[in-house]
Structure 1
Amino acid sequence: MKVFLQVLLAALLGVEQACSLMCFSCTKQKSNFYCLWPTICSKLDNYCVTQSISTGTGKIVDYGYSLSKACSAICPISSFDNYVTVVDNKCCSTSLCNFSAAGSGPQASAPLLSLGVLLSLLSAMLWLGP
């Protein structure tokens, strides 16, 4: 059992070096909660992109918010704000770096996320017992 967990930890920590870039992916979601699905990018992709779109005129008229995340070969650095629609694009270039909806906020590394998954599995295994 201990050997299995050690091999699993080594494999999870080595994922970033062994595979292509990995990014979280979603399309037009209302919350970051629905944007935490990891995707293995193609060899041509160099960036994880987070795009947030807000429409409305502040607190008076709010037409909504949309969040999308994906792998991309280029970094769309353009942002747009015409006081009714705000489009904000954020890019990063390490695996699973687009964890945050803010793009420039707190980021999580692949080893840190792997460690969290491993600890969750370990606690579940211990809770279930032998």
Structure 2
Amino acid sequence: MKAVLLALLVTGLALKPGSALQCYTCRGQVSNKNCLQVHNCTESDTQCWTERIRAVGLLTVISKGCSSHCEDGSQDYYLGKKNITCCDTDLCNASGAHALQPAAATLAPLTALGLLFWGLSQL
């Protein structure tokens, strides 16, 4: 009997209203501070996404939302780059800044490695 009551309690907690994923949403904003509107996703939406489109390093346009199917990715265009990042916890798409970090994260260690080899060659 206790097991049945426990199962009903757990099921009731899992189905309670307001348990849907929450994501930040916006469309076509040039500042992340304009992308902090909280949205309750539908039950089928299991991920939050952030899309950043950078045009020739001058302008970045940000969009965010909920998704039932999201895939991380990036595309280079003649005049810019588009990055999409996905995550699956409440409000995990707060900044989306990690979408633009791979190039910087690669460049910094390579620069440090280059300086190390240069320094060793001076000995």
Q: TM-score range by the shorter chain?
A: 0.5 to 0.7
One-letter code aligned to 1:101 = G
Which residue matches 2:109? none
One of 66, 79, 99 as aligned partner of 2:94: 99
User: Number of aligned pairs?
Assistant: 84
Of the two structures, which has the highest relative contact order with CA contacts closer than 8 Å and spacing of 6 or more? 1
Question: Per the alignment, in what secondary structure is the counterpart of residue 97 of structure 2?
Answer: coil
Contact 1:91 1:103 in 2 (8 A): no
Mark the structure with the bigger radius of gyration.
Answer: 2
RMSD (Å) for aligned C-alpha atoms = 2.1
Q: After the TM superposition, which parts of structure 1 deviate over 3 Å for at least 4 consecutive aligned residues? A: none
Return the alpha-carbon distance in structure 1 between the equivalents of residues 71 and 79 of structure 2.
21
Aligned to 1:35: 35
| SS of match in other structure, 2:33 | helix
- Give, in whole Å, the separation in 2 of the partners of 1:85 and 1:76: 20
> What TM-score do you get using the length of structure 2 for normalisation?
0.61
| C-alpha contact 1:47 1:93 (8 A) present in aligned 2 | yes
- What residue ranges of structure 2 are gaps of 5+ in the alignment? 1-16, 101-123
Contact 2:83 2:99 in 1 (8 A): no
In the superposition, the TM-score normalised over structure 1's length comes to 0.58
Q: CA deviation at 1:103?
A: 4.2
Show CA shifts across 1:77-110 (max 9, x none): 22101352200001100011111131469xxxxx
Is there any run of 5+ residues in structure 1 with no aligned partner, and where? 1-16, 106-130
Identical columns (%) = 36
